Amino acid sequence: MKTKAIIENGFKETEIGLIPEDWETTTLENEKLFEFTNGLWKGKKAPFTVAKVIRNTNFNNDGTLSLDDVAELDVEEKQFIKRQLSGGDIILERSGGGPKQPVGRVVFFDLKEVNYSFSNFTTRIRVKNINKIQPKYILYYLLHFYNRGCTYELQQRTTGIRNLNFKDYKKIQIPLPSLTEQRKIAFVLLKIQQAIEQQHKIIEITRELKKSIMNKLFTEGLHGEEQKETEIGLIPKSWEIVEVDMLGEIVTGTTPPTKNKKYYEDGGFQFISPVDLGDTKYVYKTKKEISLEGLRVSRVLPKDAVLIVCIGSTTGKVGLTFKDKSTTNQQINTIICKDEFNPHFIYYLLNFECNYIRSLSTPSPVPILSKGKFQRAKIPIVKNKQEQDKIAEILSAIDEKIEKAEYRKQTLQDLFRTMLNQLMMGKVRVKDFDFEVN
């Protein structure tokens, strides 16, 4: 493709912006480099073969494939042969998407198994000339194109479904460095993704460990003592059953009138809602804040108050306040614990008992656990404060490991997005770096 004048700093102007002057450009329309095949759900004639069919529901937003929910279908043998996936194939989401997720995601098929195919909502992109094009490089560029929101402009609506204008999609300009540089770019990005996956595995394994340890601690106690049967199940023999209101003051949140802007302008104080309670023990930040004026007409909570959602689909979800002064909306009840109860221990205990707590809510389209019912909920408790402290310490150490891994994962994801943009436009060059690429 022809390009415009070369810029002095070693870049040249193209239809996709500045790229290094030694790079070329191409398009998916280049039949010498690419071929395309649309997917198929089922054939109509015998003989059939059983195929594992990948759908757009298996697409992750990072170009990787999720194989947890692959449909096994009878596919016409002749059609399957045409649509059999091989390692290095790129699958493009051609139909689907949503308000926050435009159609056009891509994933890379890198399995050696031979009985995989793909659905009619997708298209296979196959590189025909691997001496010119590195398939993984093309995958990353198409992912870069998607992440920039460019597929929004190529969407068409048919009966509410978003379809990709594939004719225009094939015309998008792709920057093309040398094959060696393509391989190095793909290698760097792959290594970051592998590091992300490693952190993800650490998080998953540690969460499973936490579940196992919580089950042991809250059914056998700190010292693995005998159990006794109670109205809420097996608990350690030395523990007691108490009602929640024995733990401390129960506070139901409230929402300052939204019409009064002075309650919200400038913020400064956390206004906690169910969406702010997540995988971390503490609520470090909230989507909404209120002002000092708003705080004055709210029910102020201290740090280490135990939060529990009592209205809505996430009833039973728990958290701890992190700030010295914060407040919640009316969907959350809060326990300000008495001195004899460690709030971190209570947090973990309620987390463990979340299914039981949820079962007490009124069955309706919007579950509601009234303050009265919540106060009367029965939970097991150990009165020995030292044992509470030790249990909280053990579980807090596990949570700290999870949070550190989550932070590393998020940092790596941010790095991947940055490097994807920088490498694909030649703002960072790896051609002169001496490292072995597999």
Average pLDDT, the chain: 91
157 and 16 housed in the same domain: yes
Query: Which CATH number goes with the domain that contains 55?
Result: 3.90.220.20
Q: What is the pLDDT of residue 2?
A: 45
Residues of the chain short of pLDDT 50, as ranges, are 1-4
Q: What is the pLDDT of residue 45?
A: 59
268 and 164 housed in the same domain: no
137 belongs to a structural domain? yes
Q: What is the pLDDT of residue 364?
A: 82
53 and 172 housed in the same domain: yes
110 belongs to a structural domain? yes
Range of the domain at 29: 11-176
Q: What is the pLDDT of residue 363?
A: 83
15 and 164 housed in the same domain: yes
State the SS3 of the chain: CCCCCECCCCEEEECCEEEECCCEEEECCCCCCEEEEECCCCCCCCCEEEEEEECHHHECCCCCECCCCCEEEEEEHHHHHHCCCCCCEEEEECEECCCCCCCCCEEEECCCCCCEEECCCEEEEEECCCCCCCHHHHHHHHHHHHHCCHHHHHEEEECCEEEECHHHHCCCEEEECCHHHHHHHHHHHHHHHHHHHHHHHHHHHHHHHHHHHHHHHHHHCCCCCCEEEECCEEEECCCEEEEHHHCEEEEECCCCCCCCHHHCCCCCEEEECHHHCCCCCEECCCCEEECHHHHHCCCCECCCCEEEECECCCCCCEEEECCCCEEECCCEEEEEECCCCCHHHHHHHHHHCHHHHHHCCECCCCCECCHHHHHHCEEEECCCHHHHHHHHHHHHHHHHHHHHHHHHHHHHHHHHHHHHHHHHCCCCCCCCCCCCCC
Last residue of a domain, one of 138, 161, 176: 176
37 and 129 housed in the same domain: yes
245 and 170 housed in the same domain: no
What's the predicted TM-score (pTM) here? 0.86
Last residue of a domain, one of 152, 176, 200: 176
Domain count, the chain: 2
15 and 142 housed in the same domain: yes
